[in-house]
A = this chain, B = another copy of it.
Amino acid sequence: MADPRFFAVAGPFTAAELAQRTGATLTGDGQRVLKDVAPLDTAGPDHLCFLDNRKYLDALRQTRAGACLIHPDLAKEAPKDAVLLVTPEPYRAYALAAQAFYAEAHPEPGIDKSASIDKSAKLGEFCRVDAGAVIGARAELGTRCHIGPNAVIGSGCKLGDEVRVGSNASLSHCLIGNRVRIYPGARIGQDGFGFASDRKGVVKVPQLGRVLIGDDVEVGANSTIDRGAGPDTIIGPGTMIDNLVQIGHNVQIGRQCVLVAQVGVSGSTKLGDFVVVGGQGAFAGHLNIGSGAQIGAKAGVMRDIAPGERVVGSPAVPVKEFFRQVAWLQRMASKKQGD
């Protein structure tokens, strides 16, 4: 069970209720009462577990769990007395069930007395503004937004409904959709890395664009998204950005992309939809990355990538080619002189 210092558990739910919430097909006693989610190996009779990996079939066979979310192909392996919630997507169903038990409560609406909110800012209904948060002139927040402690919303920023901004995050020059989540320490909207430099000195190029963030986006802790230089920097709906990611000015990212921690995207590069980028992967500037492309961890992408292409390495090459090169080099370099 999750530590009650930090988490409040809802429920209990019957197996039938959870089958409905997760879209699973119920097999067994729909009235079985379930009080929590738990892993296969520690679950007890009033817990719901899930299995989506054959590696854990042994744990499934021995589980004491009261109910289990499971793929139809594996259902026959479950203990006879377990209630089964059968679904082709057990992990997704688990997420929905866990959300039922551990719904993130919107905090009590209100504005902490130590928050600084400009008189010209507009806040929608039921917003919560925590201690030390600062909201600038003409900023607009939708309903049920939550601005965390010491977060800063710059002048003119516009946030949709149910946006959550973590502690100590900074926003400026941005328009943000609904249900967006900005994690602690993220920096959004500062001016990009634009200047003309020569031996006479450095001249800054005014950065005149914005950051536009679609619905349901997440921006991880301490990640940075620079605003556009003239065009906007754009993050499409449903895109998930992990911690310590850098997004340069004028970058456009499509819908439901996944950028794992410490990725870097240089200025003016465009990613299509459903692009996945592994940790520390990076892109040169002004590239086009097709929808559905998969970029391996630590890849250094220096050319356009076709839709659906899978690459890795630096400079990035197709995955098969990369591992062929790795294997060949290993074999050749280990041969003795004279072989």
Contacts and interface: CB of A to CB of B under 8 A. Distances in A.
Contact of A152 (B89, B149, B282, B314): B149
A315 B216 CA distance: 34
Interface in A226-274: 226, 230, 238, 240, 242-244, 246, 248, 256, 258, 260-262, 264, 266, 274
B321 A193 contact: no
Contacts of A7: 208
B138 A5 contact: yes
A243 B226 contact: yes
A150 to B, nearest CB: 5
Contact of A279 (B264, B317, B324): B264
Contacts of A138: 5
Contact of A95 (B156, B203, B224, B246): B203
A203 B279 contact: no
A91 B206 CA distance: 12
Contact of A196 (B92, B169, B220, B321): B92
Interface in A202-230: 202-206, 208-210, 216, 220-222, 224, 226, 230
Contact of A102 (B208, B260, B284, B325): B208
A213 B62 CA distance: 33
Q: Is the interface of A mostly helix, strand, loop or mixed?
A: loop
Contacts of A256: 197, 201-202
A2 B330 contact: no
Interface stretch (A74-82, A121-129, A182-190): A182-190
Contacts of A14: none
A149 B116 contact: yes
A114 interface: yes
A167 interface: yes
A187 B183 contact: yes
A238 B131 contact: no
A209 B224 CA distance: 26
Interface in A262-295: 262, 264, 266, 274, 279-280, 282, 284
A63 interface: no
22 contacts: A2-B230, A6-B156, A92-B198, A92-B203, A95-B204, A95-B206, A102-B208, A114-B116, A134-B167, A150-B152, A152-B167, A170-B185, A185-B187, A187-B243, A190-B221, A193-B220, A201-B238, A202-B238, A202-B240, A243-B246, A298-B300, A314-B314
Given A6-B155, A134-B167, 19 more contacts: A2-B208, A3-B156, A6-B173, A6-B210, A91-B196, A95-B204, A95-B206, A98-B205, A114-B116, A183-B187, A184-B190, A193-B220, A197-B256, A201-B216, A246-B262, A248-B261, A262-B262, A280-B282, A328-B329
